[in-house]
Structures are given as C-alpha cells and as structure tokens.
Amino acid sequence: MEDLLDISALIQLRVDGQFHELDVLPSRTLLDVLRDDLGKKGTHLGCKTGHCGACTVMIDGKVAKSCITMAATLSRAEITTIEGLADDDGSMHPIQQAFWDEAGLQCGYCAPGIVLSALELIEDNHNPSTKDMEVALAGNLCRCTGYQSIKRSVTEACVRMYPEQK
C-alpha cells in the first residue's frame, strides 16, 4: 500500500491553452495553483468556502469554484480562466466587451464568477430570460452593482454573440 501514498500528486493541466505538468501538495486548491504556481492572478480569492464565486474557472468547459477544488484531484483537466477569454492579440471576447461597454461591473473583483457563469449560460442558451440568468448566476455574489448592470450586460453579450436570435 505504501506505493499508493505520496506526498504530492502529479497533475496535467492545460490552462488557457498552455500545458503544465505540476507536482502539487494535496491540501492545495486549484486557486492556489493558478495564482501562486502559474502566476494567474485574474481569478480571485473571496471567501474560501465556495459561497462567493470570485474564484470561478471552467474545468473541462464547465464552471467550477477553484477555491473548493483540490488541485491534486484534477489528474488531467482543461482549465479556462477569465484570462483565457481574450484573443492572443489582446482583443476582448465579446462577453468581456459587452460588460465593458455596458458598465456591467464596478470594482471588478467578482468578474471571474460573473463573466464565466454568464458565458456558460449564453453558450447553452442564446436568449436567456432574467430567470435563466438568476439560475446561472446563483453561485455568484456581487456587492457593488445590485446586479442590474450585470443583467443588462448579459443581454448585450447575447446580442453580440448570437445576433441571429431576436
């Protein structure tokens, strides 16, 4: 049984398109690895209990809270952070552009959760209702906006990403 136990775990992550093989200590979260090992500071620490959503990333295309994801358990995973949405030349993803143009956020700290959760929603449902948005963003807190500008930004993002929907 000794050969099963190890002080660390070897994981393979493709983060925002870049491949990494990492040896991680088991108590470390995906958030720790992204921020401290890979220098990806765009994803934020808000509560460490999984309530606020500021730590949201996509794991294999689906949103997840990185502060309550143990890095060691991700033996092979595709990770997208808020930093991975823009093009290589720096031009913003339409959803980021929509949030910017519509003054969707204020302090910006909740951006990873709000933007990625909204993106997952829109890609699945090109014309979400307010109720759909509420369900999709149930895991995210914003303390600055009262959510109104966020709703407006999500609607605008749909218009830009899927103009064929009315």
Partner 1 sequence: MVKGKQLSESYVGQPVRAKELRAPLVGKAKYTNDYSFEGQLYAYILRSPHAAAKINSVDLSGAKKISGVHLALCGRDVFEHTNGITDHLNPAIFGGKSTRLPIMAVDEAWCYGQPVAIVIAEDERTARYAASRIQVDYTPKEPVVDAEKAIAKGARSVVPEWDDNVLIYVPFMNGDTQAAFDQADKIVTTDVKIHRFSSQPMETRCYNAVWEHDTESITLYGTCQNPHPLRLVLAETLRMNENKIRIIASTIGGAFGLKMHGHPEEPLICLMTKLIRRPVKWVENREECLLIGAREQQHKVEMAFDSDGNMTGLRDHFLANIGAPSACPGWGMAFLTGLTMPGPYKVENIDVHMNAVTTNKPSWNAARGYGKESTAIALELAMDNAARQFGISPIDLRLKNFITKEQFPYPSPTGLVYDSGDYGGVLLKALETIGYEDWKGKQKTALAEGRHIGIGMAFELTPEGGTIPGTMVAGYDSSSVRVGPDGTVRVLTGITSPGTHNGTAIAQIVADELGIDMDRIEVLQGDTNSSPYGFGNYSGRSTIVGGGSAALAAKDVRDKINAVAAALLEVEIDTLSLSEGIFSSSDNGDATLTFAEVCYASYTRAYDVAMCIDPPLEATRTFKPPGISHLPDENGRINPYPSYSNAVYVVVCEVDKETGKIDLLSLAAAHDCGKVINPILVEGQVCGAFAMGLGGALTEDVQYDANGVQLTKSFKDYVMLRMADMPLVGMAHHDSPNPDNYLGLKGAGEAGVGGSAAALVNAVNNALEPLEVVIHEMPLTPSRVWSAIQNANNSEGVK
Partner 2 sequence: MSLHPMYARPRDLEQASELLASLSSGAVIIAGGQEIMPYINYGVMMPDVYVDIGGIDALRGVSAEADEVSIGPLTVHRDIQNIDEIVQQLPLLAYAAKQIGGGMQVHNRGTIGGNIVAMHPLYDVAPALLALEAEVELLSENGSQRMSLSELQELSNHGLGTSSILTKILVKPMSPTTLWGYYKLKNSAGAYGSANAAVVLQLDGENIKSIRVAIGAATEKVVVVSGNLDSYLGGPYSSEVGLAIQKTCSDAIDEPLSDQQGDGVWRKAMAGVAARRATEMALGKLNNSSSKG
Q: Is residue 13 classed as helix, strand or coil in its secondary structure?
A: strand
Place of tokens 């992550």: 13
**How many beta carbons lie within 10 A of that of residue 119, not counting itself?**
23
Q: Which does 80 bind (CB under 5 to 8 A by kind): partner 1, partner 2, none?
A: none
Regarding 99 and contact with partner 1 (CB under 8 A), the answer is yes
Q: Which of 22, 43, 56, 156 binds partner 2 (CB under 8 A)?
A: 56
The CB-side HSE value for 66 (13 A sphere, CA atoms) comes to 31
Taking the complex as a whole, the smallest distance from the CB of residue 23 to partner 1 amounts, in Å, to 16
Contact (Cβ atoms closer than 8 angstroms) between residue 74 and residue 59? yes
Regarding 43 and contact with partner 1 (CB under 8 A), the answer is yes
Place of tokens 């605008």: 156
Stretch that binds partner 1, among 2-10, 58-66, 106-114, 157-165 (CB under 8 A): 106-114
One-letter amino acid at 158 equals C
The CB-side HSE value for 150 (13 A sphere, CA atoms) comes to 28
Per-residue binding string, partner 2, 105-134, x by CB under 8 A, is --------x---x--x-------------x
| Residue 154 structure tokens | 């999500």
Q: Which of 80, 140, 145, 153 binds partner 2 (CB under 8 A)?
A: 140
Contact (Cβ atoms closer than 8 angstroms) between residue 40 and residue 18? no
With residue 22 as reference, give the H or E element that holds it. strand 18-24
Interacting residues toward partner 1 by CB under 8 A:
27, 35-36, 40-49, 51-52, 54, 81-83, 85-86, 90, 92, 96, 99-112, 115, 133-135, 137-138, 140-152, 156
Binding site for partner 2 (CB under 8 A): 1, 4-9, 25-27, 29, 48-51, 53, 56, 59, 62-65, 67-70, 72-73, 75, 113, 117, 120, 134-141
